[in-house]
Amino acid sequence: MADPEVEHRCGMIAVLGRPNVGKSTLVNSLVGEHLSIVSPKPQTTRHRILGVVQREHAQLLLVDTPGLHRARGRGALNRVLNRTAQQAVEGIDAILVMVDATRITEEDRDVVALIAASDAPAVLAVNKVDKIKRKDALLPVLRMLGELAPWRAVVPVSVTRGTNVAELEAELTRLLPVAPPAYPADQFTDRSTNFLIAERVREQAMMLLQAEVPYGVTVEVERTEEEGKRLIVHASIVVERDSQKGIVIGNGGEMLKRIGTRARKSLIALLGRPIHLQLWVKVRDGWSADERALQQLGYDDR
């Protein structure tokens, strides 16, 4: 039982930053579940995902967002990603901005400008400090960033090493209102199991496919069937062009088999039961240029 003398805090925290700074890695680390998929490729996170951090005296509701980036070039998909990230700022109690200590860019300044326009208190996490060899080189960077906005705290962290992550969590918890838990103690996301299954399959596809293809890939779970202890999952990898279909399938089906084998392992870890994964590849012409198709696939939650 929680100590009745200590007040319980609960609130929503938007996690913002340009792609690839480590937002999803942090959300997963705090939630304690592999919730948001992570890869070295930018634009891995396409959806707004709620991660519920369960603590004795607090429940932190972290909204992991696709990175904010300048909407040039890539068309409809980018516009939807930015809109999703901006929507995440509304109705929240605090903002966490994350940057990569080794590379501060114009896009980072855009994110800071967005938070400056918001009323919510904000904390800055300067991530990947493990990559900085000379620690004294970090000080001027922290000072410069500190002056950009009225931060409640500026915390250098390494999420992958676990450095200062607890301190960051403490700073965020302080900003939340006193309130009872919003989610049951065993719930770690607002997303459905089918959504999490589709994301696990997409994660493996993004890891294994080279160059152009990952940005054109999405995954749909068509249906699942219970078969005793086993869950049978029927899913499709959806690509934009016939040429991509060939790449996803690979020579003699070799690539699809590799994606399927890895995704199945990942699904066993997620669901804790035997899985039979039936994977197909489908072509949906030019889907990333068509916002209507994006909506049908659940990439836009208006």
Residues that bind ligand GDP (CB under 6 A): 17, 19-25, 38, 40, 44-45, 67, 127-128, 130-131, 158-160
Q: Which does 291 bind (CB under 5 to 8 A by kind): ligand GDP, Mg ion, none?
A: none
| Nearest alpha-carbon partner for 215 in 238, 191, 243 | 238
Q: Which runs of consecutive H residues, i.e. helices, occur in 39-105?
A: 76-87
A 10 A CB-CB count for 141 gives 17
CA distances from 239 to 171, 202, 216 (A): 42, 11, 6
Which residues on neighbouring strands pair with residue 53, listed in sequence order?
Answer: 60
Q: Give the one entry of Mg ion, ligand GDP, none that residue 25 binds, where binding means its C-beta sits below a cut-off of 5 to 8 angstroms depending on kind.
A: ligand GDP
* Residue 85 or 249 having the CB closest to ligand GDP: 85
- The correct pick among 11, 15, 24, 206 for binding Mg ion (CB under 5 A) is 24
The interface partner of residue 127, options being Mg ion, ligand GDP, none and the CB cut-off 5 to 8 Å by kind, is: ligand GDP
Q: From the CB of residue 118, how many other CB atoms can be counted at a distance below 10 Å?
A: 14
User: Least CB distance from residue 158 to ligand GDP, whole Å?
Assistant: 4
CB burial string 196-232: b at 16+ within 10 A, e below = bbbbbbbbbbbbbbeeebbbbbbbbbeebeeeeeebe
- DSSP three-state, residue 85: helix
Pairing of strands 122-127, 94-100: parallel
Q: Which is nearer to ligand GDP, 45 or 173 (CB)?
A: 45
Residues that contact Mg ion, how many (by CB under 5 A): 3
Q: CA–CA separation, 270 vs 264, rounded Å? A: 10
Q: How far is the CB of 20 from ligand GDP (least distance, A)?
A: 5
Q: Which residue's CB is nearer to ligand GDP, number 65 or number 236? A: 65
Q: Which is nearer to ligand GDP, 19 or 75 (CB)?
A: 19
Instruction: Please identify, among the stretches 3-11, 44-52, 113-121, 237-245, the one whose residues bind Mg ion according to the rule CB under 5 A.
Output: 44-52
* Cβ distance to Mg ion smaller for residue 28 or 173: 28
Least separation in angstroms between residue 17's CB and Mg ion is 9
Q: How far is the CB of 290 from ligand GDP (least distance, A)?
A: 24
Shortest Å distance, C-beta 111 to ligand GDP: 11
Q: Which two tokens stand for residue 28?
A: 């997963």
CB of 38 to ligand GDP, least distance (A): 4
Burial of 4 per CB tally in 10 Å (0-12, 13-18, 19+): exposed
Q: Is 45 in the site for Mg ion (CB under 5 A)?
A: yes
Task: Considering only the stretches 9-17, 38-46, 74-82, 240-248, report the one whose residues sit in contact with Mg ion under the rule CB under 5 A.
Answer: 38-46
- Count the Cβ atoms, other than its own, within 10 Å of residue 123: 20
Binding region for Mg ion (CB under 5 A) out of 37-45, 131-139, 191-199, 227-235: 37-45
Q: Which does residue 209 bind out of Mg ion, ligand GDP, none, counting CB within 5 to 8 angstroms by kind? A: none
**Residues whose CB falls within 8 Å of the CB of residue 288, separated by 6 or more in sequence, listed in order:** 74, 75, 76, 77, 215, 216, 240, 294
- What is the closest distance, in whole angstroms, from the C-beta atom of residue 159 to Mg ion in the complex? 12
Residue 286 C-beta: closest distance to ligand GDP, Å = 25
